[in-house]
Amino acid sequence: MKQARKEYAEAPNIYRELALKEPGTYLPCLPMTLNNLEFLDSAQNRLGEARKEAEEALKIYRELAEKEPETYLPYVAATLNNLGILDRAQNRPEEARKAFEEALRIYGAFAKQDPDQFSPLLERLKMLLKHLPKFWRPGSFYFSLTKHPHSGNLRLDRTASWNGFAACTSG
């Protein structure tokens, strides 16, 4: 995992440089790589680093959503969900609640347009908010390392995370 973290940590710097030259192409890739690094840091219990990465990703996604809300608001919601998970893991239940509630509002608006994709996310967030005091402790069902069923790779299992991130391509 050390090597993976080193490589993931290099990616945001590369995308920052590329985004300065071609923001339309590369800026959307930066928060995606930050979220990947955040997942890895969370899995390694580097919650402070994970928080910084998630907060930077959220800032960029919010900026992108101002120009293209239909494209980037779901990413804002997903990143808010990630921050809510971190907040709960760091025993910050009120911050977690605020992040989850904002994500819930965003997903709620999108669920009206595309219920098949967004209603399940909406329902999971409602359940998480209802049971916030009981869940979201490191090592719990919702915050644990698992092996991917097909590849066998380790991954951070976050049941409420939005797994609809698109691949980042240039061109």
Distance CA 128, CA 122 (A): 10
Using alpha carbons only, give the angle 149, 126, 101 rounded to the nearest 5 degrees: 110
Q: Residue 165's pLDDT is what?
A: 35
Residue 115's beta-bridge partner residues?
none
- Residuewise pLDDT in 10s, the chain (171 residues): 677 788 889 999 999 999 999 999 999 999 999 998 998 898 888 999 999 999 999 999 999 999 999 999 999 999 999 999 898 888 888 899 999 999 999 999 999 999 998 888 888 888 878 877 655 444 443 333 334 444 444 444 444 333 333 334 433
Q: Residue 133's pLDDT is what?
A: 65
Q: Residue 95's pLDDT is what?
A: 92
Residue 157's beta-bridge partner residues?
144
Domains of the chain in sequence order: 2-140 (1.25.40.10)
